[in-house]
Amino acid sequence: MIRTRETIDPAQLDLKDTVVSINRVTKVVKGGKNLSFSALVVVGDAHGVVGYGVGKAKEVPSAIKKGIDAAKKNLIRVPVQGTTVPHPIVGRYGAGRVLLKPAPDGTGIIAGAAVRAVVEAAGVTNVMTKSLGSANPHNVVRAAFTALKELKDPGKLMRLRGKDTLEELAGGRAAN
């Protein structure tokens, strides 16, 4: 099965950006040390579209701008069920693992800084998360994105299984 990725036009969305981390990077060269900055940025419209990017430059503002531009090229659509994620999932990237669990209304976002930035940008307002493994913000953000990409839309699943709505599924279980 060939999966074509949906292209999302960032110009049509009202994207908000969040800087997750800024690193000072030093490269030792023949003449001394070259100092530059690396910025990890998350962008999202708070309605199910989110992206991340890394920018590197000699100054912090231009590194952030490059990160935002990279994030706009890497947008994904997240299936949000009400105010939470549809089902529990673990995303993996390198040594980083992130667990996302649905939560009832009023719970809020229980997450560390890196995962919080990602789920807030995606528009999820009630979720419980746990970062397992790596504490590196780059790996944690990428693991959270892996989890969000693997989320299944309940409506699409029901149609694939031949059911019209979730209520029909619940009614079918009660009858058995």
Q: What is the pLDDT of residues 32-47, one digit of tens each?
A: 999 999 999 999 998 8
- Six token digits for residue 158: 């029901």
Residue 44 lies in a domain: yes
d(CA 81, CA 100): 13
Whole-structure pTM over 0.85, yes or no? no
Asked if residues 52 and 61 have their Cβ atoms less than 8 Å apart, the reply is: no
Do 120 and 42 share a structural domain? Answer: no
Indicate whether 13 pLDDT > 90.
no
Same domain for 92 and 129? yes
Q: What is the mean pLDDT of the chain?
A: 87
Closest CA to 116 of 103, 125, 107: 125
Does residue 33 share a domain with residue 85? no
- CATH assignment of the domain containing 18: 3.30.160.20
Task: Give the separation between CA 142 and CA 137, rounded to whole angstroms.
Answer: 8
What is the per-residue pLDDT for 8? 76
| Residue 1 located in a structural domain | no
pLDDT value, residue 165: 61
Asked whether residue 152 falls in the same domain as residue 65, the answer is: no
**Does the structure show a pLDDT above 50 at 176?**
no
User: What range does the domain containing 126 cover?
Assistant: 80-175
In a domain, 4, yes or no: no
Asked whether residue 21 falls in the same domain as residue 33, the answer is yes
Q: Please count the structural domains in the chain.
A: 2
pLDDT tens per residue, range 57-96: 999 999 999 999 999 998 999 988 888 999 999 999 999 9
